[in-house]
Amino acid sequence: MSLTKKGLPGLSASIKDKLIQQALERKLRQAGQEPPSRTLFQSSARKNAIPEEFYRFDLHPGYRQLQIMNEGAARMGVRSPFFKLHEGTAGADTQIGGKSYINYASYNYLGMSGDPVVQAAARQAMERYGTSVSASRLVSGERPVHRELERALADIYEVDEAVAFVSGHATNVSTIGYLFGPRDLILHDEFIHNSILQGAQLSGARRLSFPHNDWAALDDILTQQRHQFERVLIVLEGIYSMDGDYPDLPRFVEIKRRHKAFLMVDEAHSLGVMGKRGYGIREHFGLAGKDVDIWMGTLSKTLAGCGGYIAGEHALIEHLKFLAPGFLYSVGMPPSVAAASLAALRRMQDLPERVATMQARGRYFLETAQAAGIDTGSSTGYAVVPAITASSLKAARLSASLFEQGINVQPILYPAVPEKSARLRFFISCLHTEAQLTRTVAALSALLQNGH
């Protein structure tokens, strides 16, 4: 007899539903599957009892929270500062809505995006190889420009090899998610980037954070817990993108050696920014490439492209190239992007004065802001300088007021940072002039003094 309501005469609808549920649960268990929760189970005849939020995106909790935030901002007269449409190359200046702005919202630190030599390299690669390699690099997507870029990156770090991924975020997610597992421990700075957190979650490893730049706290955690795990990974950033400060890397190198752990440094914002030649935090501290096990960086900042890379020993890179899902199952980087990043890297090497100018401009902005009484947090002036407002609403209003004066700077709001740490975030490039920086600090200082 078919197990339907029609085939069970004389029983109430509730009893029929219960019998159907029990029968289905038995079948699921026999097949080695766990039945759905009883609180969510409904028969096909009662589908309308499933709460609407379970099958409507407009009722998804995340979307509803976004609506509440937008409605609250609108009631307070604050326009959304996001998704502004830039109409040309965004460097120290940009065009939005047909108007010119001093721009602090792009990490084009050395002015390589828009550089004629970099653009020419991208065009030549596109003309030779097309707009896409049309396959994973493992099968038929490999092009000479990929290998040239990776060789140049490995040379910067003085390590065996490097591998380039098509997404910076996915570089961290895929690398950490693949290399580590449930028997391992991942320790990271409390201000680490979201991509690291997502990679740790994917890996299934235990994850612990330590206070920002606090190597002593990390040492204590490892002393207590190292022997409870197989592999241990410590993850830092070269320059922290929200605060513009950096770790005492030699201390962390010593700790990782003593506790037999791996050390990974995310150089998304420090390559091209730190060191006399822009070679990053390694050059800043005079360390050897092998002092860090996993060097990671992005191609979208200093290197004027898109994507990320891992640099290190042969066994690490070969492993990732053949088995890391984010590389293995992804199409290869477009030739024009790889060529642009390679050209930007070579331009950085040929034009160290751009690095020196960017560093000088960052110091000038930091010192001028501090002299004006602006809270710049722990920034060291290396390209990223926050102006702490301690209020998301205040940060949004300041951003809007500065925009009206021809200055484009993004607010960083809760939940991206804690509410007490809400801020404006200024990205400084070698193309900014002292006059632009002075004008910006004066405008911000005046707004703060007037109670904005």
pLDDT, one tens digit per residue, over 346-391 is 999 999 999 999 999 999 999 999 999 999 999 999 999 999 999 9
pLDDT at 262: 98
pLDDT at 19: 61
pTM check: above 0.75: yes
pLDDT at 268: 98
CA nearest to 190, candidates 154, 236, 233: 236
pLDDT at 67: 86
Q: Which CATH class is domain 133-333?
A: alpha beta
Q: Which two tokens stand for residue 359?
A: 């560093």
Residues of the chain with CATH 3.40.640.10: 133-333
Residue corresponding to tokens 């207590």: 224
CA nearest to 374, candidates 353, 350, 394, 346: 394
Q: CA-based Rg of the chain, rounded to a whole angstrom?
A: 26
The C-alpha atoms of residue 448 and residue 394 are separated, in whole angstroms, by 10
User: What is the residue type of 124?
Assistant: Q
Yes or no: say if 403 and 440 are a contact pair by the CB < 8 Å rule: no
Q: Which two tokens stand for residue 72?
A: 């609250």
Yes or no: say if 308 and 167 are a contact pair by the CB < 8 Å rule: yes
Q: Where are the alpha helices (DSSP H) in 351-433?
A: 352-371, 392-404
pLDDT at 26: 65
The C-alpha atoms of residue 406 and residue 403 are separated, in whole angstroms, by 5
Yes or no: say if 391 and 422 are a contact pair by the CB < 8 Å rule: yes
pLDDT at 1: 39
Q: How is residue 334 annotated by DSSP?
A: P
pLDDT at 36: 54
The C-alpha atoms of residue 442 and residue 228 are separated, in whole angstroms, by 54
CA nearest to 107, candidates 236, 244, 310: 244
Name the CATH architecture for the domain at 86-113+352-450: Alpha-Beta Complex (3.90)
pLDDT at 32: 59
The C-alpha atoms of residue 167 and residue 199 are separated, in whole angstroms, by 13
Q: State residue 139 phi and psi, 5-degree precision.
A: -95, -70
CA 81, 85, 90 angle in degrees (round to 5)?
A: 100
With H, G, I as helix, E, B as strand and everything else as coil, classify residue 40. coil
The C-alpha atoms of residue 145 and residue 271 are separated, in whole angstroms, by 20
Residues of the chain with CATH 3.90.1150.10: 86-113+352-450
Q: Which two tokens stand for residue 302?
A: 């200093």
Task: Give CA separation, 433 vs 146, 232, 439, in Å.
Answer: 35, 45, 10
pLDDT at 13: 54
CA 382, 387, 390 angle in degrees (round to 5)?
A: 135
Q: Which two tokens stand for residue 88?
A: 């040309």
User: What is the residue type of 368?
Assistant: T
Residues of the chain with pLDDT under 70: 1-48, 452
Element (H, E) at 243: none
Q: State residue 236 phi and psi, 5-degree precision.
A: -130, 170
Q: Which two tokens stand for residue 47?
A: 């589908």
The C-alpha atoms of residue 161 and residue 123 are separated, in whole angstroms, by 27
The C-alpha atoms of residue 55 and residue 415 are separated, in whole angstroms, by 26
pLDDT at 309: 98
